[in-house]
Amino acid sequence: DIVMTQSPDSLAVSLGERATINCKSSQSVLYSSNNKNYLAWYQQKTGQPPKLLIYWASTRESGVPDRFSGSGSGTDFTLTISSLQAEDVAVYYCQQHYSIPFTFGPGTKVDIK
Amino acid sequence: EVQLVESGGGLVQPGGSLRLSCAASGFTFSSYCMTWVRQAPGKGLEWVANIKPDGSEKYYVGSVKGRFTVSRDNAKNSLYLQMNSLRAEDTALYYCARVDLGSIYYHLDLWGRGTLVTVSS
């Protein structure tokens, strides 16, 4: 199974400042035949289901604010919130959907400092 | 409105069974792979099972293989999860989610609100 790790476990950022979350997979999730990274990012606010933010490691889902961006390839990925807003307080999960069982990272909690 | 609504959760004793349902609306259910994801109280997300649009292929996480069965009824726009031999560690909020159009190996673009399963004596 591919193991997903995230760092940090939690972070507190001032409003308007940048938040950076890292995600690492134990094996590459880059599919060579289409050059796509099978890596997604989800946001989960308290009491709500997860919401898709980023897919293919860097493609923003429709309707997601452009302050959210994803980068990385192979085994190392980053979710960046360029200017943290109050509504961004949530837990963020990465997930690989390259091989079954699809696995999630443990989550990173983002709070306001 | 495009949505997924889960039902069927509840309190069950260890060793018991439960059948979860997920009603889809607002999209062509029969065209999409579907997924069950669970979240134990205060914990992270765990992928449980996937099923192809025609139900021909199903995949499970190792911890539920042989105990859980995913199925669907495209005529009723419904997804199911039959859970047998339940254990305390199966206690979780169970989400139904849609796999983005294209392949079973795609991201999850639509989620329900979940149904809570509690396994306890």
pLDDT over 90 at B86, yes or no: yes
pLDDT tens column, B90-114:
999 999 999 998 788 999 999 999 9
The verdict on a CB contact (< 8 Å) between A105 and B44 is yes
**Chain B residues within an 8 Å CB radius of A50:** 37, 45, 95, 108, 111
pLDDT at B106: 93
**C-alpha distance from B106 to closest chain A C-alpha (Å):** 6
pLDDT at B102: 78
**C-alpha distance from B62 to closest chain A C-alpha (Å):** 8
pLDDT tens column, B48-69:
999 999 999 999 999 999 999 9
Q: Which residue positions in chain A have pLDDT lower than 70?
A: none
- Per-residue pLDDT, averaged over B18-26, amounts to 98
pLDDT tens column, B26-36:
999 999 999 99
Tokens of B92: 């979780």
The secondary structure of A36-73, three-state, reads: EECEEEEEECCCCCCEEEEECCCEECCCCCCCEEEEEE
Closest CA to A36 of A63, A14, A55: A55
pLDDT at B48: 98
Tokens of A10: 């939690």
